């Protein structure tokens, strides 16, 4: 999981003719829960407002100013309602702060044994009013699984983890710069995308022609510290004993050049042309270099699949673990809920039971084995799995996608490349959806269960059209 410490802005709702001592204890309890979860908290103190809550316009303004001062480190905002809460003050605080981060609304449940005027909360009702006002103010917000949840409850602990993942996705996509290295292979019409739609969604594409990559490699000496450093990293990452030394040096220079370019252009993730220009004109495949980037949480997709790497990035942000890009590739016998996911392969080693460096068997038949070293091959380990696909719907001028969960199994599989058998409930329904809606054959995968966070971030905060396969019903 990610080790980056998160910071939450906290708004404590209060309404004076309800027991305001609950605002005091509720604030203290929520801060304690957030800090126990390893989060930092930005909130009004009891010296800055009554009990550190917001009720008046003046308190809303004061809280908004506090949030503005800490805008560069606030990942999300939690609204806690220990009593009914003043809905206007909550909405005004969010509007005045100008922060465009996810918002979670939590309401503390009443105790049936404490329903007198001294302890009655009415947060159950107040949450509806708060949500109603945020809808009027056009402020997007998320809600907890249960209508009321105590801050120290297991339910809120789980919801807080989910919300934190939503925040990481939303903030990770803000002003995102994606590297497009090389041209889309002619035969891969499926990975076409619209730069303009992505730009409209705050995602910029930085291009780099393969001729520039090869030119920089040609000018780099074998003794260059960057090349030698990358070579050492490759040899530490994967067994290379059966790989020719000249192929390893080519991979090292390729990786060094890409690293330097990404750092100089502030590119976070990338998609790279492979098939078959690099093999024919340079003499290696880029798979190991890409595998290493994805393992380092710098997601990298092949065939210049920009939309594909965005799906990888979303799940990596949510889970804090590496993602891979795969083909929905083969049926698995007659089981309608199983399929073979495959690539040739650049999967991060996080996915493998065991793996090694090898040559690319498909391309080798046309360009020669000696020009195709650099794949990382093995079987995907049995593990839970989230899958995601984003796409630019160019004719509609919007982003769309789908997300769901399944698992990789330990079923036998005798094949080359990087592959695994996945099992997904009602997979035929999913496959019909993919084909009927013209989605690509590539899908991003992550060994985690983060579909709820990806869906929430993409639909509620990014404004994308999403299908959640087999979405669980709320009890």
Q: In this structure, are 198 and 330 located in the same domain?
A: yes
Q: 391 to each of 166, 320, 429, 467, how far by Cα in Å?
A: 19, 23, 19, 12
444/108 Cα distance (integer angstroms): 38
Q: In this structure, are 360 and 372 located in the same domain?
A: yes
Residue 35 domain-assigned (yes or no): yes
Rounded to two decimals, the pTM is 0.96
Looking at residue 3, its pLDDT comes to 56
Residue 1 domain-assigned (yes or no): no
Looking at residue 17, its pLDDT comes to 73
323/328 Cα distance (integer angstroms): 15
Residue 2 domain-assigned (yes or no): no
Q: In this structure, are 148 and 17 located in the same domain?
A: yes
Q: In this structure, are 71 and 41 located in the same domain?
A: yes
Which residues of the chain are under the pLDDT cut of 70? 1-3
Q: In this structure, are 164 and 182 located in the same domain?
A: no
Looking at residue 269, its pLDDT comes to 98
Residue 475 domain-assigned (yes or no): no
Q: In this structure, are 202 and 169 located in the same domain?
A: no
Which CATH number characterizes residue 204's domain? 3.40.275.10
Specify which residues 12 forms β-bridges with. Answer: 80
Query: Whole domain around residue 112: which residue ranges?
Result: 7-173
Report the length, in residues, of the chain: 475
Q: Are 84 and 129 a contacting pair, CB within 8 Å?
A: yes
Looking at residue 474, its pLDDT comes to 82
Tally helices (H) and strands (E) across the chain: 15, 18
Q: In this structure, are 51 and 96 located in the same domain?
A: yes
419/220 Cα distance (integer angstroms): 35
Looking at residue 1, its pLDDT comes to 44
Residue 460 domain-assigned (yes or no): yes
**295-349 confidence digits (pLDDT tens):** 999 999 999 999 999 999 999 999 999 999 999 999 999 999 999 999 999 999 9
Q: In this structure, are 189 and 162 located in the same domain?
A: no
Helix (H) or strand (E) holding 214: helix 210-218
Strands 418-423 and 398-408: antiparallel
- Write the CB contacts of 441 (distance below 8 Å, at least 6 apart in sequence): 190, 327, 328
Looking at residue 16, its pLDDT comes to 75
Starting at the edge strand that comes first in sequence, how are the strands of the sheet with 76-81 ordered? 40-42, 7-12, 76-81, 103-107, 142-143
Q: In this structure, are 256 and 311 located in the same domain?
A: yes
Residue 32 domain-assigned (yes or no): yes
Among residues 118, 144, 173, the one where a domain terminates is 173
Looking at residue 159, its pLDDT comes to 98
Among residues 173, 190, 215, the one where a domain terminates is 173
Residue 87 domain-assigned (yes or no): yes
**52-73 confidence digits (pLDDT tens):** 999 999 999 999 999 999 999 9
Which CATH number characterizes residue 159's domain? 3.40.50.10940
Q: SS3 of 265, please? A: helix
Q: In this structure, are 26 and 158 located in the same domain?
A: yes
**362-373 confidence digits (pLDDT tens):** 888 889 999 999
Residue 108 domain-assigned (yes or no): yes
Helix (H) or strand (E) holding 44: none
Q: In this structure, are 234 and 325 located in the same domain?
A: yes
Q: 192 to each of 12, 234, 259, 452, how far by Cα in Å?
A: 47, 31, 25, 27
Among residues 109, 141, 173, the one where a domain terminates is 173
Q: In this structure, are 409 and 461 located in the same domain?
A: yes
Residue with tokens 């908290």: 41
Q: How many structural domains compose the chain?
A: 2
370/64 Cα distance (integer angstroms): 62
């Amino acid at each position: 999981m990610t080790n980056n410490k998160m910071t939450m802005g906290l708004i404590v709702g209060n309404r004076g003719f309800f027991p305001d001592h609950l605002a005091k204890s509720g604030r203290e309890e929520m801060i304690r829960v957030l800090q126990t979860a390893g989060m930092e908290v930005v909130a009004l103190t009891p010296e800055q407002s009554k009990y550190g809550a917001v009720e008046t316009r003046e308190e809303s303004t004061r809280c908004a100013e506090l949030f503005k001062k800490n805008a560069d480190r606030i990942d999300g905002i939690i609204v806690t309602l220990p009593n009914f809460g003043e809905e206007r003050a909550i909405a005004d605080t969010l509007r005045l702060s100008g922060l465009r981060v996810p918002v979670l609304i939590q309401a503390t449940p009443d105790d049936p044994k404490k329903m007198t005027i001294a302890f009655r909360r009415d947060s159950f009702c107040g949450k509806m009013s708060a949500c109603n006002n945020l809808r009027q103010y056009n402020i997007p917000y998320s809600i907890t699984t249960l209508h009321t949840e105590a801050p120290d409850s297991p339910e809120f602990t789980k919801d807080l983890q989910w919300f934190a993942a939503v925040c990481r996705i939303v903030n990770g996509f803000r002003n995102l710069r994606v590297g497009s290295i090389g041209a889309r292979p002619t035969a891969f019409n499926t990975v076409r995308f619209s730069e303009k739609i992505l730009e409209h969604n705050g995602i910029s594409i930085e291009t780099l022609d393969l001729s520039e990559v090869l030119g920089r490699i040609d000018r780099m000496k074998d003794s260059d510290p960057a090349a030698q450093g990358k070579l050492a990293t490759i040899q530490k990452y994967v067994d290379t004993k059966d790989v020719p030394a000249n192929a390893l040096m080519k991979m090292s220079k390729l990786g060094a050049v890409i690293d330097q370019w990404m750092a100089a252009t502030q590119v976070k993730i990338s998609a790279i042309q492979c098939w078959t220009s690099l093999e024919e004109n340079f003499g290696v495949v880029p798979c190991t270099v890409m595998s290493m980037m994805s393992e380092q949480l710098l997601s990298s997709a092949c065939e210049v699949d920009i939309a594909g790497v965005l799906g990888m990035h979303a799940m990596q942000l949510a889970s804090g673990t590496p993602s891979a890009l795969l083909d929905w590739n083969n049926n698995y016998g007659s089981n309608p809920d199983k399929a073979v996911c495959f690539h040739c392969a650049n999967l991060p080693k996080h996915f493998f039971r065991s793996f090694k460096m090898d040559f690319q068997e498909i391309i080798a038949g046309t360009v020669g084995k000696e020009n195709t070293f650099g794949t990382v091959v093995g079987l995907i380990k049995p593990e839970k799995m989230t899958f995601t696909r984003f796409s630019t719907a160019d004719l509609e001028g919007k982003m769309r996608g789908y997300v769901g969960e399944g698992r990789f199994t330990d079923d036998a599989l005798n094949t080359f490349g990087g592959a695994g058998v996945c099992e997904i409930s009602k997979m035929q329904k999913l496959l019909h959806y993919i084909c009927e809606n013209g989605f690509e054959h590539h899908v991003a995968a992550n060994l985690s269960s983060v579909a709820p966070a990806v869906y929430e971030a993409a639909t509620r905060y990014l404004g994308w059209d999403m299908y959640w396969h087999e979405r669980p019903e709320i009890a």
